[in-house]
Amino acid sequence: MVFMHDMTRKAGVIAEGAIPGCGKVENRSGGRLAAENRSGDRLAAGSPGGCPGDLGPVCGGRPPAGNPPDSPGDRERELGGAGPPVLRLCGVTKHFGELCALDRIDLAIDKGEIFGLLGPNGAGKTTLISIIAGLVRRSSGSVEVMGYDLQRQPLQVRSCIGLVPQELNYDPFFNVNEVLRFSMGYFGRRPDQARIDELLAILDLQEKKHTNTRALSGGMKRRLMIAKALVHDPPLVFLDEPTAGVDVELREELWHYIGLLRGRGTTIVLTTHYMEEAERLADRIGILHRGKLVRTGTRDELLREFGEQVLVFEVDRPPSPLPPGLRSLGVEPGENGNRLVYRYQQGQGSGVNEVLAALALEGLSVRQIHDRHTRLEDVFLKIIGLQSGRRP
């Protein structure tokens, strides 16, 4: 209680460093904020880099009266046409001592795109997201979000981002509705109960609106994490393993909601170990391995490059030994003596007619043909294997 009283008594002053890039921030007349940057230069309310009014456009709130809005959308139009990519990374590198966690990452993600970021544990996915969100300093390279540069305009960048981390973190002293009201305030947004109620309805949290967060189930806490990331309506959302540890029903509901977000033009970066999730949701996929972005492309592009089609011919008698005509076409004996396996690259000529002709020439009758497609998981393992020096 003493702590809360002290917080209330000192509410007029935000501690130095509370807003990255700014010095001490004082609540002056009328609630307007003026900030002082670390070089000692005065930042007038409403000036670029400052925090006007109730943090105004820098942090997602309203711009001061009489000033032109400086929202991400206006910034996009200012830069011309359809604007730049929502996210642009150029040479992003991160060293932890002698360990190179990220090695010159170049990437551009467009508005409304769902980008699936895949990679084994320790590949650098969370480090990359943390750098973009301003939680970790990069060693070199540049990050732009909605045309804002992270180095020069960190507050604008952070106001454009919603982050759902892997770990469940929540304030155990407040109920669901209070948590979301506070989350809006962190981005300078005035409480908007209509927006909160909209999210509660979409994420099926209405009945838990006044429930203390400690009393929520794991799945409900996961939904609350997503609501916290979206409550300020960011144009770019990072979902770091959003469905880890949730049941099948909730996973389907979250997938549906991710699709709704894309329909509204929200750009989403999704990290996941569920290949089915990436196949179903992602417009494009990037594979990160040992700090390097080794491949990017659509699912179909990756399947064409690394996937293969497998046909298993079940014949009337075991061809032993395998006739040279079939062997020359790449046909291999299967595990069962009556089965022959033929593989070919997806997107290329199949050669199936030649195989059928060769089987007929050898007097072999085909009883059944089994078809097996390469999955994204097979492609992922193949790429990682190639990068690790293993044979596919």
What letter would DSSP give residue 97? T
Buried b (16+ CB within 10 A) or exposed e, 307-341: bbbebbbebeeebeeebeebeebebebbeeebbbb
| Phi then psi dihedrals of residue 32, to 5 deg | -70, 150
What pLDDT does 388 receive? 67
- Counting as low any pLDDT under 50, the low residues of the chain are 1-81, 392
Which residue has 């190179």 as its token pair? Answer: 100
Residue 283, C-beta contacts closer than 8 angstroms, at least 6 positions apart? 113, 114, 115, 298
What pLDDT does 350 receive? 67
Give me the domains of the chain, ranges plus CATH numbers: 87-172+228-301 (3.40.50.300), 308-373 (3.30.70.1560)
What pLDDT does 83 receive? 62
Nearest CA to 289 among 379, 377, 388?
A: 388
What pLDDT does 177 receive? 94
pTM > 0.75: yes or no = no
Nearest CA to 72 among 262, 270, 189, 233?
A: 233
- Distance between CA 284 and CA 54 in Å, rounded? 37
What pLDDT does 73 receive? 40
The amino acid present at 225, given as its one-letter code, is: M
What pLDDT does 161 receive? 94
218: how many CB neighbours lie within 10 A of its CB? 11
SS3 assignment, position 78: helix
